[in-house]
């Protein structure tokens, strides 16, 4: 997908690349945190989400960190198809739980007086409390999925790892079954803390971070990467070398990897679960049958070395 990129002067590309490297993730993070301070409504959040995803996609076409990761329109449409199926499954699960499980959890919280949410705190402090708490639960689910074969299979987590080339839209390229497991942080954190009033703001911050963590752009990790996950760290988690993949479990917050000793700051040679990317039929069947080429799944034979095709 060139879209006239060849006609953009090289000097302009370099300026855009420099601005992107130093400023993109900090700027979008600040904007995400500003929305609750400005009293943004749901529509403003949606406009923000679609705008920054569109911006990431355009930048990936213009100044990709790994040009060989650029894919054809057909490949992008296939990924978007998987994203749509996974998102639809998530919406259906959430709709069902809104009328059952979430209502029951809310009643338990009220019954045992567990609504300890510090509503008198500054808005940003509330947002960050939910953010790090949510990621604490997600960290342990994610780590478990890479350690226990039954959880890797049941959740279909390998589907997300199977792609050889990553872009921002891969953020939501999950197996439909994993939508159930990705609700776990919301259920536990919401049950114990409450804090639904800042849910949209937390969702905005989380979305910015996880989409940038998968994008094919050269980004700085030196300062912002102490707390927030950057794509250098998360792409390393997508390595096809199991020892490398078993690091950097924080999808949005890298803090817990630093605390629990699973943080790694290193180059990544090759992504995926094996030398070849499974077919889409194999991706959907992963909860039932692991592809023969898989080297990342728990209890499979790890790859001895990564491919040297990547620069």
**Token output for 138:** 């997600």
E strand map for 239-306? none
Residue 91 covered by a domain: yes
d(CA 101, CA 61): 42
**Token output for 125:** 């402090």
Residue 310 covered by a domain: no
- Angle (CA) 74-79-84 rounded to 5° is 120
Q: Which residue has the tokens 């990129």?
A: 5
Residue 292 covered by a domain: no
Whole-Å CA distances, 142 to 29, 158, 181, 258, 301: 23, 11, 9, 15, 20
Q: Domain total for the chain? A: 1
**DSSP of 238-296:** TBSSHHHHTS---SSBTHHHHHHT-------S-BSSSSSPPPHHHHHTTTT---TT--S
d(CA 185, CA 218): 30
Residue 218 covered by a domain: yes
pLDDT at 101 (0 to 100): 78
Q: For the chain, first and last CA: distance in Å?
A: 21
10-residue mean pLDDT profile of the chain (311 residues): values are: 69 94 95 88 90 95 95 93 96 85 79 80 92 95 96 96 96 95 83 77 93 96 94 97 97 98 96 95 95 86 44 36
Backbone torsion region of residue 276, taken as left when φ is above 0, otherwise alpha when ψ lies between -120 and 50, otherwise beta: beta
**Token output for 102:** 């979430």
Q: Which residue has the tokens 């070395």?
A: 305
Residue 256 covered by a domain: yes
pLDDT at 310 (0 to 100): 37
Whole-Å CA distances, 138 to 4, 224, 235: 40, 20, 17
pLDDT at 39 (0 to 100): 85
Contacts of 303 (CB under 8 A, 6+ apart): 240, 241, 242, 274, 275, 295, 296
Residue 235 covered by a domain: yes
**Token output for 293:** 């080429």
pLDDT at 105 (0 to 100): 79
Residue 311 covered by a domain: no
Residue 184 covered by a domain: yes
pLDDT at 2 (0 to 100): 53
Q: Which domain holds residue 178?
A: 5-284
């Amino acid at each position: 997908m060139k879209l006239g990129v060849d006609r953009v002067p090289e000097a302009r590309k370099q300026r855009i690349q420099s601005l992107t490297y130093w400023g993109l993730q900090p700027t979008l993070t600040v904007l995400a945190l500003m929305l609750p301070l400005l009293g943004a409504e749901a529509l403003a959040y949606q406009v923000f989400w679609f705008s920054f995803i569109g911006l990431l996609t355009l930048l990936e076409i213009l100044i990709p960190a790994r040009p060989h990761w650029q894919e054809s329109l057909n490949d992008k449409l296939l990924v978007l198809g998987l994203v749509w199926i996974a998102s639809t499954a998530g919406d259906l699960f959430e709709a069902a739980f809104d009328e059952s499980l979430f209502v029951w959890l809310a009643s338990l919280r009220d019954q045992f007086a567990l609504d300890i949410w510090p509503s008198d705190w500054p808005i940003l402090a509330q947002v960050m409390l939910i953010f790090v708490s949510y990621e604490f639960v997600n960290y342990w689910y994610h780590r478990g999925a890479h350690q226990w074969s039954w959880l890797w299979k049941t959740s279909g987590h390998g589907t997300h790892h199977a792609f050889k080339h990553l872009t921002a839209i891969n953020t939501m390229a999950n197996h439909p079954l994993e939508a159930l497991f990705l609700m776990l942080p919301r259920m536990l954190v919401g049950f114990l803390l409450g804090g639904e009033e800042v849910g949209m703001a937390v969702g905005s911050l989380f979305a910015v971070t996880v989409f940038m963590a998968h994008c094919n752009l050269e980004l700085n990790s030196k300062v912002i990467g102490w707390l927030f996950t950057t794509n250098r760290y998360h792409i390393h988690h997508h390595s096809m070398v199991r020892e490398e993949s078993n690091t950097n479990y924080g999808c949005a917050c890298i803090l817990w990897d630093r605390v629990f000793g699973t943080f790694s700051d290193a180059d990544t040679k090759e992504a995926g679960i094996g030398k070849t990317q499974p077919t889409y039929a194999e991706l959907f069947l992963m909860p039932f049958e692991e592809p023969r080429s898989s080297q990342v799944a728990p209890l499979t034979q790890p790859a001895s070395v990564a491919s040297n095709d990547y620069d």
